[in-house]
Structure 1
Amino acid sequence: MAVEVHVGEDTWRMPLAVRYYEADQQNVVFHGWYLNYFDEAFTAYTAALGYSNQRAQAEGVDWMVVHSEIDWHGSLRWPDSAEIAVSAVHVGNSSITVDFAALRDGEAVCSARNVYVTVDATEFSRVEVPVAFREAIGHGQSLRRVRAGR
């Protein structure tokens, strides 16, 4: 399935400097690092919304990834400077769907959609998304759109 990426100017972004150890001998970032970038960006995004990991833990909740979709449109290379764009697409009862895009010079080189489930921080059982977090995260726009054809 072909995916188009559209990142608005007002989309929250985290700066990223590709580190030497993340690249292979051709200086291309190994594919596994992108999910790490997106998880780091989700953590920074929630903190920017006033809902840091520390606050979540203090309130007895945490988030776990239960589904990821990822598409490459190019690649980051060492020592690129990049940005990770983050947008919450949907907030359900216990789940949060979040789109990500890795951008170099404003162009998407990779995009992903993660579904997080809110869990009790001790029992790791599903719980509802906290009201304060739901209000803070709001409803963003999808960064990824299915493109017709190949």
Structure 2
Amino acid sequence: MGNALKSDEIQFRIRYGETDQMGVVYHGNYAQYFEMGRTEWLRKFGVSYRQMEEEGIMLPVVSLSVNFKKSARYDDQVRVVTTLAKIPSASIEFDYEIFNAENELLTTGKTVLAFIDMERNRPTRCPKYILDQLQN
């Protein structure tokens, strides 16, 4: 995989219910935007949460950071770019960038998710099939 870390992007329009009285996206919604980006990223690269859970692996978020540069507002068309930060081990890290339709960077973020063996409720290594999938 080298330094060409894998990225994917999704686009959507900000809904009224995601904003506060000033028409600005409520800060708590960014965690959901990151989750949407991450879920599509995993799907694109052949990894399904459902498949992992069926195989006894959970992937909880253990760290979340968000940096706000400019407000996203009601009815904005936004683009979430999700990038794998590094090759997964016992955790998987994603970087996020959210842009508006004018391609202005609105928000950056990072999440770290841990691979957890559901039976033992203990951290475990990234499943081999995921690493294999990422090499392709």
Shared fold, TM over 0.5: yes
Q: Given the superposition, is the C-alpha separation of residues 122 and 102 from structure 1 closer, same or farther in structure 2, using an over 3 Å criterion?
A: farther
The letter for the 1-side match of 2:16 is Y
1:39 match: 35
Q: What's the CA shift for 1:33?
A: 0.4
**Residue in structure 1 matching 2:104, options 98, 107, 113:** 107
* Count of matched residue positions in the alignment of Structure 1 and Structure 2: 129
4+ residue runs of structure 1 moved beyond 4 angstroms?
A: none
Q: 1:128 aligns to what?
A: 125
In 1, Cα distance between equivalents of 2:130 and 2:115 = 11
Q: Does 1:64 align with 2:60?
A: yes
The aligned counterpart of 2:114 is: 117
Shift of 1:92: 4.1
Identify the structure with the greater strand proportion.
1
Structure 1: runs of 5+ lacking an equivalent: 1-9, 139-150
How far 1:119 sits from its partner (Å)? 0.8
Among 74, 84, 90, which residue is 1:78 paired with? 74
Segments of 5+ residues of structure 2 without an aligned counterpart are 1-5
Quote the offset at 1:58 in angstroms. Answer: 2.0
Identity of aligned residues (%): 22
1:71 CA drift (Å): 0.5
